[in-house]
Structures are given as C-alpha cells and as structure tokens.
Structure 1
Amino acid sequence: MNVPSLFSKLTSSSNSKNQLRIIIQVDAIYIASSVKADAETLQFPIQSSWEAALQVAISSFANHKYSATVVFSSHYYQSYQIEKPELPKEEWAVALPFLLKDLINERVTEIVADAYLLPDGRRAQTYVLSKKYLTPLVDVLDKAKITLSRVIPEDEVWGHVPTEIDNFMLLYRGVKDSYKVGAFVETKSRFQRVIRGVVSPLTGVASSELQLDSIALELQRSIDYLSSQMRDTAINHLLVMCDEDDSKELAKALSERLNTQVSALNNTGLCGQVLCDTLSLITDDGVNLYPSHLKPKKELFTLSSVVSIWVLLALVMCGYYGYMAYQVSVTEQVLKVKTRNKERLAEEFETLSFQVANNKPNPTMLKAIERIEADIDAKKSTLEVIRHFDDSLKEGYSGVMTSLSELGRNDISISYIELNEKVLNLKGVARTPSSVPKWVKQFKTELNLVGRTFESMNIGRNEQDIVTFELVTQDESKSLPSAGGE
C-alpha cells in the first residue's frame, strides 16, 4: 500500500463518525448521516435542478464538519470496458481521460475517470463523469462547509447490496429513470445495460403482456451475452428491484418467460434508499470519481497562520530574552561575590607570604631538633632490643628451670646455674660419678632441654671426697658431639 492510499484510509477512518451518504437520483436526493447508526434516510425531490435540491438537502448539516460520499445515478455517468492501461495503477486517474478520448464526445479536460482491473487481467472496467456534474457538486458542498471525500458510480454500490447470492444479475429502475440490468460477480460490476423501449409500469392495472415479453427478450439477450463472454463464471439468478412496480409480481412474470431463477430483492423502500443504506458497506479502496489531483490543496501558509506563527515566535523570543536577562543579572551578582572573595583571598595571600618570608628557621634550634631526633631513634632501638631480649630470656628461664625441677633426683644436687639465650652451664655434686650421665640422658624427655649439647663434662671429688661435676654448653660455632650419655 502506497503512502497516499494509507493517508486516505487514515483520513476516512478519522471522519467516519461525521460521514454523510448522499445519493443523487433522477427523481430526488437521498441523504443519511452516519452519526447515528439508525439515522433515517431523508428524501428531497428534484424540482428544478439537482443542485438546488442538494442545497436544500444539506442545509441542516452545514457548518458541522461533515465529509460526504456521493453516489451518482447511471443517468449522470458513462461506463466502458477497455484494454488494460500499460501504466502504474497510481497514474490511471490522470491517464484514463486521454485513453478514452475516442469514445466520448467531451473534451479530455472536461471529464474525470477511474477504473479497476477485471479478473481476466486484460481489461479494465472504467467509469467516466463529466465535470459539469462534479464542479457544481463541489461548489454546493463547499458553501455548506462540507468536505467531499469520494464520488462513486451507482453500479459499484449495487454490487454490495445485501443478498445471499454472490453472483447475480439485477434488474433495477429508479423513479423517472429507465430500466437497467447489471451483472455482479463478487460485488464487482461486470456488465451494465440500459433497456430502452420499455415504459413503466410493467405491473398493476397498466401492465402489458407485450411490454413484459419485450423486457424478457432483452433480458434473455443479456443472459446469452454473459454466458458467451463470462465462461469462467456462471450467473444463474436474476434479482428485481424496480420503483413504481411490484417487484415480486414482476419477478413472477419474468420467471415464466426466462430460463433462469428470478426473485425480488428482499429490500423495502425505493432504490435511492437502498443505495443509501448499502453505501455504508462500501470499502475505501474502490472507484473514486473525485481523484486526489482535483481536490483543493490545503494551504499551509495562509495569512492568518503566518500572523499566528509570527505572534507565537515573538512571544517565544520575548520570553527567551526575559529569561536570558534574568540569568545575566543572577550571573552578575555571583560574579561580584566571587570578585570580592578573590580580593580578600589576595590580601590574605600577601600577608601570609610576608609572614613566611620573615619566618626564617633558627640554625641552633634545627641542630637541637636533629640531636633530639637521633636520641629518640637510639632509644627506640634500645627498647626494641630489650623487648626482644626480655621475651627470649623469660621464655628460657621459665622453660629450662621448670624442666630441671621436673628432673630432680636424690643423687644430684645443682649448686651453680649459668643461663642465657645460648648458654646453659651447670655445677653441682653427685652421690656417685655414674649418676651424672644418667641424669643428662633424662634431658631428652624434656622439651626445653632436648637438643642441649655440652662442650665438656668434668667429674671429680672435692676435699670432702664428695663427687663434683661441671657441664659446659657447646659453642654454636663449633660442631662437637653431645656429652649426654657419656
């Protein structure tokens, strides 16, 4: 779907609640509004001209922002089947008047046309409307401030009339109009013909067998023609909808004369009223004899819009100027405060710089500070050594002394102990010389004595002939065998 058709759909859907359905027949104007679903179809007889009748019909809808869809009776337009135009579909509305110039009596510039492609893909169903009908229609609606959205030929509406039959022929006639016959296949018109030489009415007191035979003959000719031309589709049903005639009586009379099914269309009212009701079933993408290139272009820059834009722009600029002036005044106040702070800080900086320049350090005081710092560092080192030595000494005293007490014997007596981190020298007396080695062997059972080695073990006797001993710890720098057990 192209952009113009999409925009057209959006526009039509937005105006669907304010749509007018207008049917222009030979005898009258039929009009209905879609504001109310059950709105009654109004009928306005045509006395002098259809334009005057239309003015009267739309007078009650003027100035209410309606958009109108108009259906012209076949009395006002012509239809043709032509070869498919070898042009894009979007260009058909412009090109069709030139393609039809040999079939019409009017100038190309005085007509509008639209078409759709028939199922065979080779021909197009074309409708032609003279601008002598379109131009006054637009003028009348414009004066009432009603927008013309679409113009549809009558034959395109009859194809959508509610019926249970998809493909059918229709014999119809409006008041003061001629008898017409059309063929419709899946809502599309495939054949149209005006039956001439038959005068209404065909039923009632004034009915004539001769006229019934004449119209039956014309209908049979149309049926035979359709059978020969439309071999892909069979049309076996004829519907009847004729004003000023009893449609059921006419259908019965024709069924006796034709070799096809004939029945009256199940609709009450006149043809114009049926068309007005059926128009609401028409889709938006069908034939339109009011092409977009003829619709008035909406002026984006009118005098009032330009003045409004300038006024709005002036208000915006004034507002922006006032806002910026306020911002400048606030900024100036902040700048003044910052300038005063800068001057104050500059004065303080000069004062402090002068004080720093005059505040020179005393050399004697600096040397005293250095000596004090050196003394503090030395004392810190001494405290660290003492702390380490004291911890080690506490551990050695407590552990070793506890172990020696655990190994106390009756035949050993210690009289001298020399103990530090690396040295354990012992002196004492023993009952016998062999008691000393036995005692030393017991060092292996104590955690704080195990691994202790002695450089020498001296055993002798004193003047009282008492056995004495002396154990000297092995120096760590030497590698001597343990004296324990000797």
Structure 2
Amino acid sequence: MENSLLSKFAFWQTKHDRVDLGVYLNAAAVTFYNRDGDPSFSLPLSGDDWSGVFQALTDKIPAPNLQLVLSEDFYQLLVVDKPMVQPEEMHQALIWSIKDMVSEPVESLHLDYFESPESTNNKVTVVAVNKAMLQALVKAADKHQVTIAGISIEEMAISNYGAGDKLAHMVLCHKPGSELLLTVVKQGQLYMQRRIRGFSQLDRVSSEDLQLNVADNLSLELQRSMDYFESQLRQAPVASIALLMGGERQMLAQLLSRNFDQAVEVIACEQVQDKLAQWALAELERQTEEPA
C-alpha cells in the first residue's frame, strides 16, 4: 500500500493543536469518537447538509480536527489491472480503466487506489468518490473552522485492528442492511477485502437459524477467503477471526469456533459505527506518531 498514490486515501494531512476526533459518516448520521470526554456521539445527517452537522459539532466541540471514514454509501471499489505507467500518469490511466465500470461520468469522480502489500496478480483496487460530495463537505468544514486531517474508507479503517500485532487477523464487519465485509489485516495494513452477499440481515438472524445453516454457510465463505490468503498471497494462516456486528454475535462466535482452529472473538462495542469512528481516531494518532 505504500506504493499507492495516497497510502491511506487521505486527501491532505495537517498537524494541529486542536481537538482530535475520529469520524464515521453514513447516509443517515455522522458518528464522532473522542478519546477524552464523551467517547462517542452521533449527529443526524439530512441529505447533504454538512454545514448543519459541522455547526452542531462546533457548538459542542470548538476547533475540531477530524479523521473521516466514509461508509460504503459514499464510494465504490473497483478491481482493475494495474496500469503499467509512471506514478504521475496513474490517475489518467485509471480513468480509462474504470470508465465502463461506473454509472456516472468519470469526470465527476475523485479516484484513488490501493493494492495488497503482497499482491501477486498485478491488480489494484480503485476507490471512486463523487467529487461534488467531497467539495461540499470540504466547503462546509472550512465555513465552520473544522479541520479535516484525512479521509479514509471502511476497509482501511479496519486495518487499525491489531495494528501492533505481527500476525494476520480476519475481521468480519456487518452493519444493518449491508452486505458482510470481510477483511484480512496485518500490522496496520489491509491484505484483502471482499463483500459477501447473502448476509445483509445477519444482525436479525435468530440463534436457531444460526445453528441450522447460517453459521455453516458463512464458514464456507470464510474458508474460501482463508484459502486465497494462504495460497494466492502466500501468507501464514490468520491468527484469529474477529466479529464486529450486532445481533446474536456471541452465538455466532461459538458456532464459527467449532469449524476453525483459530480463536473467534467478538469486538466489544454498542454500535458498529462507534468502533469505526474509534478506529478513525486510531488512524489519526498513528499518522501523528509516524516520522515525517
């Protein structure tokens, strides 16, 4: 990922003596994590009223410095062959690579990309975000004296799980109504990611249905991903499986643990967005600690 245009999909990074907050944005609300004071709180988002959100935020916390994580509501991920061009030519090459894969004009999109640290297939993952949305967000932040330290996405935020560990971990992240996000992370880097269809209502599945077939069906998907991680990326098996979700997560952890040698743990949180906002702040703190 160090070879990408922006290693963490951050459009800018600035150091400030301000109140640092991790932020998770979805289409309905914005969740903030503050290591001091109230650990997390949310503000409703009405359409694209970023100004209203930032006004309410600065009424509560003046001069905030934000590390943002966008939900999947705001971006697309597209896997393409890596263009064989110089770094300064990559952006233009990616435009041609994705122009037939998106439903809106490529001129209206901001593009970035990342790749696995151990990629063997010469592929890159392109992140496409609507430019107008970003411009409105930045304009509103500037209006209310809100500093944006960086912008990331869900997959990258999860790479902060076990960032200090030399072992790889599989993390399953599920938000109500969304497809299940599977990632494998190691030492603060994202090695692989995929959305698994068929589990969008996982938080509503009863213990009985989990025991009947859901856990076993999910286990098959996890095994496929483990096989890919070990054979295609030539990595040692993941050390653990972590669940970030609501619903009958403790029961699911017990059922999955019967099918795998790895420990299966539940990541403690009241709501998934709280943890994603917390990881956003962890990303900001990691960037601050890294040498310039």
Same fold (TM over 0.5): yes
Match of 1:103 among 101, 104, 113: 101
Count of aligned positions:
272
Q: Percent identity?
A: 20
Q: 1:32 to 1:16 in 2, by over 3 A?
A: farther
Partner of 1:369: none
Q: Describe the SS at the equivalent of 1:12.
A: coil
Which structure has more RCO (C-alpha within 8 Å, separation ≥ 6)?
A: 2
Structural RMSD (CA): 3.4
Q: CA deviation at 1:91?
A: 5.2
Matched, 1:61 2:58: yes
Per the alignment, residue 3 of structure 2 pairs with none
Q: 1: CA distance between counterparts of 2:13 and 2:173?
A: 33
Runs of 4+ in 1 over 6 A off after TM superposition: none
In 2, the alpha carbon distance for the partners of 1:17 and 1:90 equals 33
Displacement of 1:213: 2.9
Structure-2 residue corresponding to 1:471? none
1:155 shift after superposition = 0.7
Structure 2 distance, partners of 1:91, 1:155, is 25
Q: Write the deviation string for residues 103-156 of structure 1: whole angstroms up to 9, x where unpaired.
A: 323222111122234334744343222235323323432443324342101111
Q: Give 1:157 shift.
A: 1.0
Seen in structure 2, the aligned counterparts of structure 1 residues 32 and 78 have a Cα distance that, compared at 3 Å, is same
Q: Deviations over 1:56-90 (max 9, x none)?
A: 46523169444432111134322234343444445
1:43 aligns with 2:42: yes
Q: Structure 2 vs 1, CA of residues 132 and 207 (structure 1 numbering), >3 Å: closer, same or farther?
A: farther
> TM-score by structure 1 length?
0.48
Q: Structure 1 residues 232, 195: CA separation in 2 closer, same or farther (over 3 Å shift)?
A: closer
The amino acid that maps onto 1:159 is S
Amino acid corresponding to residue 59 of structure 1 in structure 2: A
Q: How does 1:165-244 map to 2 (within 5 A)?
A: 166-198=167-199, 199=201, 200-204=203-207, 207=210, 209-243=212-246
Query: Which structure has the highest strand share of the two?
Result: 2
Cα distance, 1:44 vs. partner?
2.9
Q: What amino acid does structure 2 have at the position aligned with 1:264?
A: E
Partners in 1 of 2:50 and 2:265 — Cα distance?
Answer: 30
Q: Which runs of 5+ in 1 are unaligned?
A: 286-486
Which range moved further: 115-124 or 267-276? 115-124
Report the CA distance between 1:171 and its aligned residue. 1.0
CA contact (8 A) 1:252 1:262 kept: no
Q: Please give the alpha-carbon distance, in whole angstroms, between the structure 2 residues aligned to 1:238 and 1:91.
A: 39
- SS of alignment partner, residue 194 of structure 1: strand
Q: TM-score, normalised by structure 2?
A: 0.76
Matches within 5 A, 1:328-407: none
Cα distance, 1:124–1:186 mapped onto 2, change above 3 Å: farther
Which has the larger share of helix? 1
